[in-house]
Amino acid sequence: MKLLAKTNQIYLAFSLAIYLFAGLAFYQVVRILIYREVESRLRVERLDFEAYIRLHKVWSDSTYFVENKIDVDPVSAHAPQTESFTDTLIRNRYDNELMPFRQFTFYVPIQGVTHRVSIRKSLIQSYQLMEVITATMVVCLGLLLLGTFWFQGKLSGRLWHPFYETLSRIKRFNLASATPLQLDKPEINEFRELNEVLRKMGDKMQQDYRSLKEFTENASHEIQTPLALINAKVEQLIQSEKLTETQGRWIEDIYQASRRMARLNQGLLLLAKIENQQFTANHTIDLTVLLSEKLDDMEEVLIHKQIAVEISQSMPFEVQLPPSLADSLVTNLVNNAIKHNHANGRLELASDGEKLWLGNTGSALVSSPERLFERFKKEGSSSDSVGLGLAIIKEICDNYGLQVQYQETSGWHRFCISRKPETE
Amino acid sequence: MKVLVVEDEKGLAESISDYMNKEGYICETAATFREADERIYLYDYDCVIVDLTLPDGNGFQLIETLKKLLATTGVIIISARNALEDKIRGLEIGSDDYLTKPFHLSELNARVKSLIRRRNFGGHTEIRFREIRVNPASRKVYVNGQLTIISRKEYDLLLYFLSNIDVVLTKVSIAEHLWGDNIDSADSLDMVYSHIKNLRRKLLEKGGSDYVRSVYGIGYKFGES
């Protein structure tokens, strides 16, 4: 839920409650005022009535010709005599409509007989007044609500604008690019501070990233050079004629070990570079074509190991990858499929446009399939492999919106590459 | 043929220059950018082998200067960085080849030879060794004047041998020369063996002598001795 929608929602609920309460309170106040007014008039009329009785000693209905204004009834002296104000409805004589009245009941002795006197005042005017007032208030409050709602929406939109601007810039921010994170200086202090902090963080991250990158390159240089030296010296050493068979074997071991170390170093550096996303120039690459080409390249190895290649479906499988990584991905996949294949085995490539499989026959897995993609996980103990191939495949896939899965079914080992479902 | 090796790692520079000297080149070394810069102003080289990262400068700059001075000099970059951008940039400013460290001296030697062949004779020169004659332009091999049909890899193998006569070539370096760096060794060493067997057989069939010798199980040597 968006911030503005959320505040609007809370604001709406709150102002509705307040307005409702205010409306009810107002209605009650008006009602009390009206009643008080009517009741004080009724009291005055009572005084008039009592003055009249004192003067004339007798009451005659004819004095009051207006209908329903007064009722004078004799009551027994023992009846309870309490004065009271009540609301009552009385039917209109002409159009038979029920009309609201306020009635004041009191007891007066006339010529020695207690009479109950009820004088009334019509409330119809007051009710109409109240209706009009209520209607006006509802309209006014409604307009006020809408108005403030609109205003508040506009206002928070404007107030939060720098925040959303910052957010969108951070989203676009690319760590690997040389351009620093550029943010505005909004007039609101909090946002300015936020941008300031973010800019500092961005700069620091870029700086760290750069030094990491430099470290990667330097480490590569520092390790590769001594390795090159070992290699060169060993190569010179084997040119000498005076080596014995045993010495030859030792040298061979040194040589192999240095080659492996070079490979290992290159593999680790490649992994680090992928993790740091130091490859940025993506191209559209058809992996199906690339894999077929790779298999053609490896034809001799395949013939040598007598592995039959089947390409069952070859729909294009296009991905966005830097070319060197695409090549690395394909090379590692093919190498893996060849290395773990047995003689007279089979290798299968298929793509339906959504998924790409590379399968190979081979003996059953010894280690658990879940750990297959981990670094230095080697199947079997062949010392010539450094155990980074599958880790590289996985790292490339993870970083470029692909996923790789491994399946084993009846002697077939399949690596399936598919596009990661869009998460956003 | 004069070759300049620009490499700050003394031991490596020494190994390269020893190897080159043995191949009959006049080889000089420079350990710093300044030294190298001075040398390329003073002397003309047929081929310059440049390390990209030097203590006091950048190899790219050196190549640019070199190309301005004498465009026909061949340039081979040797670098610890296996970065595509470096390779592309190197080619753009006129280098001919790019080798990632660590490399095989025999591989470097083969590349230097092939480069000099291309530069000096436009590739129209034949490589001769005794009764074997190879025409690089048409990729044809003659033994005792008879055309010998060999496969593409066998041709590459033969040329690699001919570039490194009387030198022990390790099996790994042969494998990597034929199939590239990414080849997995276990199978490739078997393949090297079978290719060498086939090549030998084909040369012998046309009346050639057997020049390939296995050395300590490490590798092979091609030569008269």
Name the token pair of A100. 């609201």
Q: Please give the single-letter amino acid code of residue A312.
A: S
pLDDT at A252 over 90: no
> Average pLDDT in the B43-63 region?
90
Q: What is the mean pLDDT of chain B?
A: 88
The answer on pLDDT for A298 being more than 90 is no
Q: Tell whether the model's pLDDT for residue A424 goes beyond 60.
A: no
SS3 B143: strand
B78 lies in the same domain as B132: no
On whether both B177 and B108 belong to a single domain, the answer is: no
The reported pLDDT for the residue numbered B48 is: 93
pLDDT number for residue A107: 86
- Per-residue pLDDT tens over the stretch B118-167: 877 665 678 888 889 998 888 899 999 899 999 888 999 999 999 898 88
Q: Report residue B195: phi and psi, to 5°.
A: -65, -40
Q: What is the CATH number of the domain that holds B66?
A: 3.40.50.2300
Domain check: are A11 and A79 in the same one?
Answer: yes
Q: Does B134 lie in the same domain as B113? A: no
Which residue blocks in B74-218 are alpha helix, DSSP H? 84-92, 105-121, 152-163, 171-179, 185-205
- What's CA A346's distance to the chain center, in Å? 47
Q: In this predicted model, what pLDDT tens digit does every residue of A170-217 receive, in sequence order?
A: 888 887 777 888 888 888 898 999 999 999 999 999 899 888 877 876
A228/B9 CB distance under 8 A: yes
Substitution target in B79, B154, B164, B168 with the highest count of A β-carbons within 10 Å is B168
Residues A340 and A382 in one domain: yes
Q: Cβ–Cβ of A228/B194 closer than 8 Å?
A: no
B156: number of Cβ within 10 Å: 18
Minimal Cα distance from A229: which residue of B?
B12
**What pLDDT was estimated at residue A381?**
57
pLDDT digits (tens, 9 = 90+) for A228-243: 899 889 888 888 878 8
B133, B98: one domain: no
Of B11, B81, B182, the CB nearest to A220: B81
Nearest residue of B to residue A341, measured between CA atoms: B187
Same domain (yes/no): B107, B176: no
Which of A293, A303, A359 minimizes the C-alpha distance to A326?
Answer: A293
B26 half-sphere exposure, CB direction, 13 A CA radius? 6
User: Are B217 and A248 an interchain contact pair (Cβ–Cβ within 8 Å)?
Assistant: yes
**CATH code, B167:** 1.10.10.10
Q: Under an 8 A CB cutoff, do A221 and B217 touch?
A: no
Give me the pLDDT at residue A104, please: 87
Top residue of A213, A214, A239, A243 to mutate, by most chain B CBs within 10 Å, is A239
**Does residue A124 sit in the same domain as residue A65?**
yes
Q: Do A238 and B84 touch (CB under 8 A)?
A: no
The reply to whether A172 falls in a domain is: no
User: Beta partners for B127?
Assistant: B134
- Express each pLDDT in A263-272 by its tens digit: 888 888 888 8
Show residues of chain B in contact with A262, CB under 8 Å. Answer: 102
Q: Does residue A115 sit in the same domain as residue A240?
A: no
My answer on whether A223 and A306 are in the same domain is no
- Mean pLDDT of the region A300-320: 85
What's the DSSP call for residue B149? -
Single residue among B95, B121, B147 that ends a domain in this structure: B121
Domain that holds residue B117: 2-121
Question: What tokens does A55 get?
Answer: 């003067």
Identity of the amino acid at A366? V
- Is residue A203 situated within a structural domain? yes
Q: Are residues A261 and A295 in the same domain?
A: no
Question: Is there a single domain that holds both residue B209 and residue B158?
Answer: yes
- The strand pairing partners of A73, in sequence order, are A116
**Is B10 in the same domain as B63?**
yes
Q: How far apart are CA A270 and CA A395, in angstroms?
A: 10
Structure tokens at A267: 């593999």
Q: Is some CB atom of chain A closer than 8 A to the CB atom of B215?
A: yes
Question: Is the same domain home to B79 and B14?
Answer: yes
What tokens were used for B108?
Answer: 């470097």
Domain count, chain B: 2
Among A224, A233, A238, beta carbon nearest to B101? A224
Range of the domain at A231: 189-274
Task: Name the band, by pLDDT with cuts 50, 70 and 90, for residue B39.
Answer: very high
- With an 8 Å Cβ cutoff, are A238 and B215 in contact? yes
Q: How many other β-carbons are positioned within 10 Å of the β-carbon of residue A345?
A: 20
Same domain assignment for residues A217 and A323:
no
Q: Are A292 and A265 in a shared domain?
A: no
Q: State mean pLDDT over B99-112.
A: 90
Give contacts of B 66-85 with A, CB under 8 A.
78, 80-82, 84
Q: Do residues B92 and B63 touch, judged by C-beta distance below 8 A? A: no
The CATH number that applies at residue A395 is 3.30.565.10
**Cα distance from A222 to chain B (closest Cα, Å)?**
8
Taking an 8 Å cut-off on Cβ atoms, the answer to whether B170 and A385 are in contact is no
Shortest distance between the Cα of A399 and any Cα of chain B, in A, equals 19
Note whether residue A165 is domain-resident: no
Same domain for A315 and A226? no
Query: A with B: how many residue pairs have Cβ under 8 Å apart?
Result: 123
For residue A337, what is the nearest residue in chain B, using CA coordinates? Answer: B184
Residue A314: other Cβ atoms inside 10 A: 17
pLDDT of residue B160: 93
- Closest by CA position to A310, among listed A349, A338, A344, A337: A349
* Residue B184 to residue A335, Cβ atoms within 8 A: yes
Is there a domain that residue A316 lies in? yes
Residue pointed to by tokens 């592309």: B88
Confidence of residue A222 (pLDDT cuts 50, 70, 90): confident
Distance between CA atoms of B18 and A233, rounded to whole angstroms? 11
Find the Cα–Cα–Cα–Cα dihedral A26, A31, A33, A36, rounded to 10°: -160
What pLDDT sits at residue B77? 94
Give me chain A's average pLDDT, please.
84
- Whether A96 maps to a domain, the answer reads yes
On whether both A238 and A134 belong to a single domain, the answer is: no
**Are A258 and A287 contained in the same domain?**
no
Pairwise pLDDT comparison (A370 vs B133), residue with the higher score:
B133
> Which residue, B87, B121, B155, sits at the end of a domain?
B121
Q: Are residues A370 and A309 in the same domain?
A: yes
- β-sheet bridge partners, residue A311: A349
Nearest to A89 by CA among A72, A97, A101: A101
CB-nearest partner of A262 from B84, B102, B106 = B102
Is B32 touching A (CB cutoff 8 A)?
Answer: no
Determine whether the interchain pair B15/A233 forms a contact, defined as Cβ–Cβ distance below 8 Å.
yes
Judge whether residue A64 has pLDDT over 60. no
Residue of A nearest to B152 (CA): A300
Burial code of B130-146, b = ≥16 C-beta within 10 A, e = fewer? eebbbebeeeebbbeee
Of B121, B151, B182, the one marking the end of a domain is: B121
**Per-residue model confidence (pLDDT) at position A121:** 83
CA distance A16 to A266: 67
Find the closest chain A residue to B181 by CA distance. A263
* Residue A340: predicted pLDDT: 83
Question: Is pLDDT larger for residue A278 or for residue B48?
Answer: B48
Q: Which residue has the tokens 């760590």?
A: A175
> Does the CB of B144 have a partner CB in chain A at under 8 Å?
no
Same domain, B154 and B51: no
Q: What is the C-alpha separation between B151 and B178, in angstroms, rounded?
A: 12
